[in-house]
Amino acid sequence: MPFFHGFKQVVLVKQVPNLTAGHVPMKPDGTIDRSKVQPMFNPPDLAALEAALELKDRLGGMVFALSMGPPDAEAVLKDCYRCGTDDHFLLTDRRLGGSDTLGTSYALALGVRYIERKWGPVDVVHAGMKALDGETGQVGPQVARWLERPCLPYVEQVHEVDLDAPKPLHADVIITGGAAQVRSTLPCVTVDAPTKYTIRTPLASRLMLMKDFRMEKLSIDDIGLDVPFIGVDGSPTKVWKSEPQTSAEGFRNTKFWTPDKVGELVAKWGEMGLFKEEVA
Amino acid sequence: MVDLNGWGINDVEGVYVVAEHQYGRLADVTPELIGIGRDLADEMKEPLTVLLLGHEVRHHAQLLIEHGADRVVVCDDPRLKHWVIEPYGRTIGAFCRREPPRSFLLGATTASNPLASWVAADLVTGLASVCTDLRISDVEYRRVMLSKQLLQKRPDFNAIYFSTIITPDFYPQMATARTGAFQAKPHEPGRKGEVVEIPAVFGPHDFDVEVVGIEVKPKHVDLKEAKAIVSFGMGIKNNPKPALRMVEELAAELEGGMVGATRAAVEHGYITHDHQVGLTGTVVRPAGYFAFGVKGAVQHIVGMMESKYVFAVNSDKGAPIVNYADDMLVGDLHEVLPELLEAVRAWKARHTGKAAAPAKAAPKAGAAAKG
């Protein structure tokens, strides 16, 4: 496979169960009934995808989408393709099932290395801020650590990429209580924030051309994964106990009121001292 | 191949907390982490160490001790002027390799969460993010009794249920917590502790990210300062503008009143993120919490359930918020709000002996908060 010499980016995407619809189907044991939950594209990853595609619009080159999950996670890679990505990789291996972030980020880092063996060195790896089904937000910085590349958390906007400068990437990042302008060397890992990106709609030209979609399925042997901290058994963190939020912790003895009694209710608040003292 | 750190239960000691600071002051999450860290350390009868990295930050050390630290490890270096992951993480990783901790806590904040993630990978251990409860307990795991394990309770699956995480066989056992999740201990002026200085440790690529400018955006509202919060959720969507105005008016009538909102309402652009109550916003404990059209997603509930008094209006009697309210009015908030406002003004008029005059609408929620 010939190397590609232009600007290259990888976007990390995840398929998550769609739990945003409100009602969550639960099994009698209190866990989520996944067979009744539709999978979806992890929304925060859309910012990462958009960030990569915007840079591609400006600099040209190629964007590769990398995901890890069950075989049907192919769907999120197809979504990436419809928006404009060029090649697709799905890490799918039973031995990876149930990995926590440490193993996941390690496998993804090796996935990036695999892509680099195929296409040549990658300039930017994009990650979303978090996954809706885990809310850990750890993958981006950990991939950066494994790849020994600088990590830029919470990039809102990339201003310029001056490939001749020692620190080519110039970006705005979110910091506590404000924003910072940073410059970084390439290659680097960005964690992209959704605040300023406008997510594009799929390309009409690609909707009908799924036959051109290409994807490689990778096992842990393909990426040469050599660590024990993967899968349910190897992951450092274990779920000790799970409690659905039907537990009555924090429940109060609720008193019901009707609209004709608001006067009484307001008098109660007054006696509780909740109102602001009027300034005479 | 990555080398596992190989630390066993007898190779590690104590609780570490990383102090977060910005613009020359300690972040609120730091005394809170020291507060829960103090409890964990006391439970194990082991010391609590705070790691303080940065440039010209030494003077915070005594304050950290007064908040409850036994020892503050200071790394004060001009190259740590900006909070950048690699140089901070490398120094923290190196110190942990020298003196491995048993439990390790950082903030689940913009600054600390990426750092915590990076350090967890560097030390090849697990990390439980956004914990809402932390305890020390003996745990039987694979038929072996392990002592002094960190039980890490956190919301999972978009905060629909809670998991308790353990990290058996791996050290340090790392966790992050959001601002407001734990309470700081009372400040003890003159409390004694040890201060140790360590040199910074850098790798060859640790200055690849350079901060060239910082812009501080003033936060308009700090909900933690509110004595009363009037919150709204997607229930306002049928007629958002007048509903929002009435929510602001009600907040203006309340002592220390501010406007809060659910994540969905913020994501729909009805109000800015600094008004968001919940796990991904601000965790609040006001004297009065007034929820209008708030369904009660767990991530919101967790952020307000410790309010002293809760009143809710919702058209759905089966909405989860009902369980967490002291007083509940089932109805359309667009109809209830005007009646409530009128009743409030009538009550005030009676109690100040003046005629009911319509209170001026607050120009914006932030201003209403200060009144």
Q: For chain B, give every domain's residue range.
A: 15-197, 223-370
Q: Is the pLDDT score of A26 beyond 80?
A: no
Mutate to test the interface with A, among B157, B214, B222 (most CBs of A within 10 A): B157
Is B98 within 8 Å of chain A by CB? no
Domains of chain A: 8-234 (3.40.50.620)
Is A83 within 8 Å of chain B by CB? no
Cα–Cα distance for residue pair B14/B150, rounded to 1 Å? 12
Please tell me which residue of chain B has the smallest CA distance to A187: B208
Task: Answer for the pair B149, B103: CB distance below 8 angstroms, yes or no.
Answer: no
| Contact residues for B81 (Cβ-Cβ < 8 A; gap 6+) | B54, B55
Is B169 within 8 Å of chain A by CB? yes
Instruction: Work out the pLDDT band at A245, boundaries 50, 70, 90.
Output: low
Q: Which pLDDT score is estimated for A4?
A: 84
Q: Which pLDDT score is estimated for A27?
A: 65
Q: Do B326 and A252 touch (CB under 8 A)?
A: yes
Q: Which pLDDT score is estimated for B158?
A: 54
| pLDDT under 50: residue ranges of chain B | 355-371
User: For the residues A175-182, what does the mean pLDDT come to?
Assistant: 88
Q: Do B324 and A252 touch (CB under 8 A)?
A: yes
Q: Which pLDDT score is estimated for B297?
A: 86
Mutate to test the interface with B, among A20, A23, A100, A136 (most CBs of B within 10 A): A136
Is B359 within 8 Å of chain A by CB? no
**A71, A134, B346 from A229: Cα distances, Å:** 22, 18, 65
User: For the residues A6-15, what does the mean pLDDT come to?
Assistant: 96
Q: Do B86 and A150 touch (CB under 8 A)?
A: yes
Chains A & B: contacts with CB separation below 8 Å: 288
Q: Which pLDDT score is estimated for A207?
A: 75
Per 3-state DSSP, chain A is made up of helix, strand and coil in percentages (nearest 5) of: 35, 25, 40
Which residues of chain A lie closer than 8 angstroms to B82, CB-CB?
Answer: 180
Instruction: Work out the pLDDT band at A30, boundaries 50, 70, 90.
Output: low
Query: Which residues of A, range 196-255, sit inside 8 Å of B by Cβ?
Result: 226-229, 235-245, 248, 250-255
Q: Do B126 and A102 touch (CB under 8 A)?
A: yes
Q: Which pLDDT score is estimated for A22?
A: 55
Is A142 within 8 Å of chain B by CB? yes
- How many C-beta atoms lie closer than 10 Å to residue A217's C-beta? 13
Q: Do B130 and A106 touch (CB under 8 A)?
A: no
Q: Which pLDDT score is estimated for B363?
A: 46
User: For the residues A137-162, what does the mean pLDDT come to?
Assistant: 95
Measured N-to-C along each axis, helices A139-147 and B85-98 cross at an angle, to the nearest 10 degrees, of 80
Quote the minimal CA–CA distance from B119 to chain A in Å: 8
Is B170 within 8 Å of chain A by CB? yes
Burial A86-118 (b: 16+ CB within 10 A, else e): bbbbbbbbebbebbbbbbbbbbbbbbbebbbee
Which residues of chain A lie closer than 8 angstroms to B113, CB-CB?
Answer: 137-138, 153
Q: Do B118 and A275 touch (CB under 8 A)?
A: no
Quote the minimal CA–CA distance from A191 to chain B in Å: 9
Which residues of chain B lie closer than 8 angstroms to A185, CB-CB?
Answer: 205, 208-209
Which residues of chain B lie closer than 8 angstroms to A262, CB-CB?
Answer: 329, 336, 339-340, 343
Quickly tell me which residue has 């990383």 as its tokens: B18
Mutate to test the interface with A, among B209, B272, B280 (most CBs of A within 10 A): B209
Residue B290 has φ and ψ, to the nearest 5°, of: -115, 115
| Contact residues for A161 (Cβ-Cβ < 8 A; gap 6+) | A7, A55, A58, A59, A168, A169, A170, A186
Q: Which pLDDT score is estimated for A204?
A: 76
Q: Which pLDDT score is estimated for B362?
A: 44
Query: Which residues of A, range 48-77, sit inside 8 Å of B by Cβ?
Result: none
User: CATH fold of B15-197, please?
Assistant: Rossmann fold (3.40.50)
Say what percent of chain A tops pLDDT 70: 90
Quote the minimal CA–CA distance from A77 to chain B in Å: 22
Q: Which of A30, A149, A182 sits opposite B212 (nearest CB)?
A: A182
Instruction: Take residue B304 and report the two structure tokens written for it.
Output: 């307000």
Q: Is the pLDDT higher at B169 or at A154?
A: A154
| Contact residues for B302 (Cβ-Cβ < 8 A; gap 6+) | B132, B155, B159, B278, B279, B283
Task: Answer for the pair A266, B347: CB distance below 8 angstroms, yes or no.
Answer: yes
Q: Do B121 and A240 touch (CB under 8 A)?
A: no
Q: Which pLDDT score is estimated for A105?
A: 97
Mutate to test the interface with B, among A105, A266, A279 (most CBs of B within 10 A): A266
Cα–Cα distance for residue pair A219/B37, rounded to 1 Å? 41
Query: Which residues of A, range 172-201, sit inside 8 Å of B by Cβ?
Result: 174-185, 188, 191
Mutate to test the interface with B, among A156, A157, A261, A275 (most CBs of B within 10 A): A275
Q: Which of A17, A105, A150 sits opposite B209 (nearest CB)?
A: A150
Is B146 within 8 Å of chain A by CB? no
Secondary structure (3-state) at B322: helix
Which residues of chain A lie closer than 8 angstroms to B116, CB-CB?
Answer: 138
Comparing B15-197 with B223-370, is the CATH topology the same? yes
**A42, B64, B221, B366 from B274: Cα distances, Å:** 24, 27, 6, 10
Which residues of chain B lie closer than 8 angstroms to A33, CB-CB?
Answer: none
Region B223-370: CATH code: 3.40.50.1220
Provide the phi-psi class of A109: left if phi over 0, else alpha when psi is between -120 and 50, else beta. alpha
Which residue from A143, A159, A162 is spatially nearest to A151, judged by alpha carbons? A143
Q: How far apart are the first and last CA of chain B?
A: 60
Is B131 within 8 Å of chain A by CB? no
Which residue from B303, B344, B346, B309 is spatially nearest to B325, judged by alpha carbons? B309
Is A163 within 8 Å of chain B by CB? no
Model-level pTM? 0.81
Instruction: Take residue B279 and report the two structure tokens written for it.
Output: 């796990």
Which residue from A241, A219, A216 is spatially nearest to A230, judged by alpha carbons? A219
Furthest-apart CA pair in chain B: how many Å?
79
pLDDT, chain A, mean = 89
Task: Answer for the pair B180, B284: CB distance below 8 angstroms, yes or no.
Answer: yes
Summarised one tens digit per residue, pLDDT across range A93-148 is 999 998 999 999 999 999 999 999 999 999 999 999 988 777 678 999 999 999 99
Secondary structure (3-state) at A70: coil
Summarised one tens digit per residue, pLDDT across range B198-231 is 999 998 888 999 998 888 876 667 898 899 999 9
Q: Do B141 and A238 touch (CB under 8 A)?
A: yes
Question: Letter for the amino acid at A15?
Answer: Q
Quote the minimal CA–CA distance from A209 to chain B in Å: 34
H or E element, residue A125: strand A124-128
Quote the minimal CA–CA distance from B190 to chain A in Å: 30
Quote the minimal CA–CA distance from B253 to chain A in Å: 6
